[in-house]
Amino acid sequence: MNSSRVLLEMLKNYDVEHVFGLPGETTLPLYKEWLDYPEIKHVMARDERSSAFMADGYARFTNKPGVCEAPSVGSTHILPGVAEAYKASLPVVFMTSDIPLHLETRNMLTGLDQTSMFSGITKETYTITNPGQIPHTIRRAFRVATTGKPGPVHIRLPYDILQGETVDPDLYSQKDFTKYPGHRPVAETAKIVEALKLLGEAENPVIIAGQGALYSQAWDELVSVAEMFIAPVGTTINAKGVMPEMHPLSIGVIGARGGTTLSNRVICEADLIFFVGSSTDSAGTDKWTVPGVDTDAKIIQLDISEHEAGNNYDVDVILIGDAKATLGWMLELANVSPREMEKLPRIQALINAKEEHSVYVAGLMSSNEKPIHPVRFIKELQDALPDKRCLVMDVGTSAIYTSTFYKVPSAGRSMAYNFAMGSLGYALPTSVGASIARQDHSIATLVGDGSFGLAAAELETISRIGLNNNVIVVNNSSFGWIRAEWKLSYGDEYVDFATNFNEVDYPKIAEGFGLKANRITRPGEMSSLKELFHSDEPSFTELVLQPEDMLVPPVPIWIRKAEKKGVRHVK
């Protein structure tokens, strides 16, 4: 059997329905056979980096491993997406074709040591040296990617191998690993009992949920544990959505990217902190100040990874296991009488503080300022989106204001942020993967004008696919995040250095790629968003918002500096 057909048969056996990539000479033997496999749809990107992020978006919104392929010359281009998946613990199978390996030292065009290049940013990298390896390698790749701490794997496929033949290939698959988590290990029962004892004794417990809880789909169990112990729940930005944010125990996003003074204070005042699926990274803890590493609070940490549990804090009880399975067993073992949370003084105080903050936010949402106030935009966005919605955000203004002020109405995966690495050029291609994963949903893709320059060609991909993907480019004519950092940390005299853009006609660019485009500069014009979101077609909107250096967004360290300098800010 032809080797490329063996590879495609194995992908089909693992229920792969979409592969993201673009052609190159070293991949053509695979493409030749692909024509006979219409059930595996090839989604052509315009840049290999984009194809990697498309697979990222698909993996996030399907709970299936994303699959990305690239030719040898494009193997270096997918590295930003591989690094994001690795740091984000996201299962993606990256396949790169290559020159015949025996020609690598003869300086064959496009050849390089791919194995060394990928080894530091994947769970495993495999080089196929014999056609008979392919079935075994695919089984191992999906099993490794989806189990334990999930993550990307890389498969190197030389050109001559793709043209080779395999005798009697063992094409069986392991269906456990067609989705993630592949398996759900449960933490040690004795340790769970210790954790329950601490939770029961705590007078002011809180829960911090990270993206591991979202990957595990542990939202029902998370709510039940929170209600059982009357523990407010904060999420990291990457976990936004795992807790329904209208719930009385929700305090929203915490930490450096989306945390408010209120939500971060609740964490710092707790006498017990229960981390669930959180890597306790710098963004989720505001550089380990929320909570501080010297906290007097008891700490419980539940994580699938032995690398992360107990990594950054002195943890009283470590629970190594899947979040959903372990929380479920915790609920079965617990012997706690239900309490009425509203009657507890600390919960009533929390509700009152949240209502007071809501009044402040409502005032910002009614702003008629021009350029448009970012919080007013969040209100218009929330009101315009249909019930079936997904949001994909770039770093910067788009991420901060949605993480802080957009309220996720129900638990589950509806948001995508890339705050593992935080590179530019993420949202546009990731939204392509999201739109294919959730074809009955409206996609809101929030892109910074700085980020837009790295992925603008994918507007053609969005137009070609034709799904309801609505791109909103936030225009402040600069790398606005850097301008704000200059202003607050170094002074006004630096803000124009290496930050400003020429005026760009963004709607004309979008129209050139075949998209319906418009421009919004005034608050009253945002009513047009509802029609776009409820359409079946893609769209493009340029949105002019107040820049970060003129209106400082709710980043804790920036707010402290802005208050000292007397700079306008949102808290």
pLDDT tens, 183-192? 999 999 999 9
How many Cβ atoms sit within 10 Å of the Cβ of residue 307? 11
Structure tokens at 20: 């993201």
Residue 250 bridge partners (DSSP): 233
Among 216, 231, 199, 211, which Cα is nearest to 330's?
Answer: 199
Q: What pLDDT is stored for residue 337 in this prediction? A: 72
Question: CA geometry: angle at 105 spanning 102 and 110, to 5°?
Answer: 85
Q: Which fold has domain 189-343?
A: Rossmann fold (3.40.50)
Q: What class is the 3-177 domain?
A: alpha beta
For the chain, give the mean pLDDT.
96
DSSP code of residue 375:
H
pLDDT of residue 342: 67
pLDDT in tens, 491-511: 999 999 999 999 999 999 999
Burial class (CB in 10 A: 0-12, 13-18, 19+), 460: middle
Does position 338 have pLDDT exceeding 70, yes or no? no
Each residue's pLDDT tens digit, 142-187: 999 999 999 999 999 999 999 999 998 999 999 999 999 999 999 9
Q: What percent of the chain has pLDDT over 90?
A: 97
Whole-number pLDDT of residue 264: 97
Q: Which of 141, 200, 185, 265 is nearest to 559 (CA)?
A: 265
Per-residue HEC secondary structure of 223-280 comes to HHHHHHHCCCEEECHHHCCCCCCCCCCEEEECCCCCCCHHHHHHHHCCCEEEEECCCC
pTM more than 0.75? yes
pLDDT beyond 80 at 343: no
- For the residues 548-558, what does the mean pLDDT come to? 95
Contact status, residue 525 vs residue 372, Cβ threshold 8 Å = no
State the pLDDT at residue 341: 76
Q: CB–CB of 69/44 below 8 Å?
A: no
CB atoms < 10 A from the CB of 323, how many? 30
Where exactly does CATH 3.40.50.970 map onto the chain?
A: 3-177, 366-565
Q: What is the mean pLDDT of residues 426-449?
A: 98
Residue pLDDT, tens place only, 111-148: 999 999 999 999 999 999 999 999 999 999 999 999 99
Residue range(s) in the chain whose domain bears CATH number 3.40.50.1220: 189-343
Report the top-level CATH class of 366-565: alpha beta
Comparing CA positions, the residue from 447, 427, 444 lying closest to residue 388 is: 444
Give the tens place of pLDDT for each residue, 269-308. Answer: 999 999 999 999 999 999 999 999 999 999 999 999 999 9
